[in-house]
Structure 1
């Protein structure tokens, strides 16, 4: 009987008309920002959960409109005075809303898995990220349901949407979503547990608080204190979430990183195996410059694989946005090994910095193969990018001489220079 009643609520819910919109939002946000997450399981998992933030706002508004039908029908007082308990019917109503929310959430998760599987290494989508998305769906639906039940105004649905947007955007310590799932971090167990518990509490409040809790109760019945009690509960839950700490915490480095066989080696987190060839090619282009002017590290490490206390670990590369950022980190590592240690007089400081900037820009362009490595900013300040692009396309011996000239200029600008 309960299943039949639930199916009835699902069929009559106004969200049935909005389901295509929710699914479209889910898929659009999955691919709308970028696709560099494809093939890296933690990144794909984070990308799959993020759309819940966007369509969750619409879901909250729909839940408010659905729950407010008793006010529009003018039967709120009759239902409040009825002998039968109201919460089972409210549970069915909220459940129907959650079904639509989870159905809209599922396509993005499945698509993220399908498009990542051909490129990714061992493993699968991380349940912790997907679970955060489910918590956000439950929270959005429950908050909207409660608002629609307690307030009869037709403006409640858009207000519920605005509150969801404002709260999740501004209140960073209590966010229920992450923007990225880079391999160096993971979901903290305590932070997840508090958010999961808070979402369940909101669902319980949405189901159990009667609609007449907003009306003055002169008889002193429990209904008269439910609203302030619920407010205290919500505030206490938010405080506990904030006290639980950040949603993402640093992961322990793997005991066996994924390293290339070629020299110089590059070592990455195992989840980012699809990028081994890309980064190895960048390192190889730097190593191929003749003349011995550049001193490359024996191994380039991805950030997080080494102890931060190691002096040169700060230059370890990060795979941001599909590897476009890697050349800047590789350049920094090469410069740290190549540039001499000098005392630079104040009068020569500008010259010293300018030559180092020119060399830095060149190394980025050479490692990546094009000037796109420098992004839309066009390279370091004061560097003539036309010159850098011209040098990077000259014969190898000409490029080697240009690098040698830059290093000589840096030594001339300094005093007491010595190799590292």
Structure 2
């Protein structure tokens, strides 16, 4: 154990540990607090910093692995009675400590925030936490391998750059952004990925010192290539699966009822507020029986829904309720193979869009939307602004405008 402490006390990487710790915690605490009280989003937010820690891990591992590549260092090390794996292991473990310590601290902080209410879905959190750890171990192994194969000045750059490409330019689930209730991390597959990454690290330790020796060592190189192939395969298999709708769901009774995943219990109060705002709406707006969070109902062979709570936005729920009320109100336009909507589209009319944006803002309680719309054509943008502006006018004027708009669309296109 004293050998490991000696390496940790002597490595220059230790001076970066406080900066990595601050970075990890800052990335977690500066996110919107929608993830508080949601295990899936808590795990996803807490493993998000693994992207940046992984870039550092890949570059630092390549740098550390190349330290013993110089001839004046290789020869004395070869003469030592200890085997190469035993000699390299303390440096590798020291690097893992520097990389994993900030990640673990961030996970503990995020866990503590959500554990106070202990909502359903703890296995989601566990899966995302292990997913981030597996990514960091994999980044370390990949960087170590590059450091043994490439010159010291190129290895760290190659490690960091290729890790960025693997996460941003290639479609993988090494890092995720959100952990919605409709998705479930596959724990056995994530554990398999973690084991494959550890095997890759172990195989790299058996590579002989010196780049020229590595290229001539057929057996260790073959073992590393085999381990690398297994790791790439394990990393390419998707470990995030879509859940089927639950046997029971949380439905907030009202007109309409708003149904949520059991893991989304914290949004009950939000649903109650939106339903309270439907009470003063014109009766011409037809209420659907139920509105569902995404993934709760199966339509056309897929698990779908009316709104998603990926960012915890009240506007997302309000938008789902508004669109479903609009669909029910103008259901007559769907008769005769959507003949009414076809005529509506040909006319260039945007009355329904304006009505939906008015209703969305009204249900969300007013204020500034939690999203921005860009690239919207002129007529549609004008309709959106008209609907939002109408939501700020006196209630009597809003109701009169809404009734007139509904009557105009139904009589003009849907009769």
TM bin (shorter chain): 0.7 to 0.9
**Shift in Å, 1:17:** 0.6
Number of positions where the alignment pairs a residue of Structure 1 with one of Structure 2: 405
Cα deviation digits, residues 274-313 of structure 1 (max 9, x gap)? 21111221233123214x11111232221222223499x8
Provide the residue aligned with 2:364 in structure 1.
368
CA distance in 2, matches of 1:132, 1:57: 16
Cα deviation digits, residues 302-350 of structure 1 (max 9, x gap)? 1222223499x85522113222322221111111211132333866534
CA distance in 2, matches of 1:216, 1:390: 69
CA contact (8 A) 1:43 1:180 kept: yes
Provide the residue aligned with 2:161 in structure 1.
162
Q: TM-score, normalised by structure 1?
A: 0.86
Provide the residue aligned with 2:203 in structure 1.
205
Provide the residue aligned with 2:276 in structure 1.
284
CA contact (8 A) 1:64 1:145 kept: yes
CA distance in 1, matches of 2:402, 2:301: 28
Cα distance change of structure 1 residues 8 and 50 upon mapping to structure 2, 3 Å threshold: same
Provide the residue aligned with 1:24 in structure 2.
22
Q: Structure 2: where are the runs of 5+ without partners?
A: 334-338
Among 309, 315, 324, the alignment partner of 1:333 is 324
2:251 matches 1:259:
yes
Cα distance change of structure 1 residues 358 and 166 upon mapping to structure 2, 3 Å threshold: same
2:315 matches 1:317:
no
User: Secondary structure at 1:26's aligned position in 2?
Assistant: helix
CA contact (8 A) 1:184 1:251 kept: yes
Provide the residue aligned with 1:308 in structure 2.
299
Provide the residue aligned with 1:391 in structure 2.
390
Provide the residue aligned with 1:293 in structure 2.
284
Provide the residue aligned with 1:377 in structure 2.
373
CA distance in 2, matches of 1:150, 1:209: 10
Provide the residue aligned with 1:87 in structure 2.
85
Provide the residue aligned with 1:403 in structure 2.
402
2:265 matches 1:269:
no
Provide the residue aligned with 1:234 in structure 2.
228
**Shift in Å, 1:90:** 1.4
User: Which runs of at least 4 in structure 1 moved beyond 6 Å after TM superposition?
Assistant: none
Provide the residue aligned with 1:344 in structure 2.
340
User: Secondary structure at 1:186's aligned position in 2?
Assistant: strand
Q: Is 68-77 or 374-383 further displaced after alignment?
A: 374-383
Provide the residue aligned with 1:101 in structure 2.
99
Among 30, 42, 45, the alignment partner of 2:43 is 45
CA contact (8 A) 2:68 2:74 kept: yes
Cα deviation digits, residues 217-250 of structure 1 (max 9, x gap)? 8xx8xx24433552354134323543x3x22111
CA contact (8 A) 2:21 2:103 kept: yes
Cα distance change of structure 1 residues 149 and 216 upon mapping to structure 2, 3 Å threshold: closer
Cα distance change of structure 1 residues 216 and 135 upon mapping to structure 2, 3 Å threshold: closer
Cα distance change of structure 1 residues 136 and 298 upon mapping to structure 2, 3 Å threshold: same
CA distance in 2, matches of 1:152, 1:171: 26
Cα distance change of structure 1 residues 348 and 43 upon mapping to structure 2, 3 Å threshold: closer
CA distance in 2, matches of 1:369, 1:407: 22
Cα distance change of structure 1 residues 310 and 159 upon mapping to structure 2, 3 Å threshold: closer
CA distance in 1, matches of 2:82, 2:76: 11
**Shift in Å, 1:123:** 5.5
Provide the residue aligned with 1:355 in structure 2.
351
User: Secondary structure at 2:184's aligned position in 1?
Assistant: strand
Provide the residue aligned with 1:78 in structure 2.
76
User: Secondary structure at 2:321's aligned position in 1?
Assistant: helix
Q: Structure 1: where are the runs of 5+ without partners?
A: none
Provide the residue aligned with 1:140 in structure 2.
139
User: Secondary structure at 2:369's aligned position in 1?
Assistant: helix
**Shift in Å, 1:131:** 0.6
Provide the residue aligned with 2:52 in structure 1.
54
**Shift in Å, 1:135:** 0.9
Cα distance change of structure 1 residues 345 and 361 upon mapping to structure 2, 3 Å threshold: closer
Cα distance change of structure 1 residues 348 and 96 upon mapping to structure 2, 3 Å threshold: closer
Provide the residue aligned with 2:336 in structure 1.
none
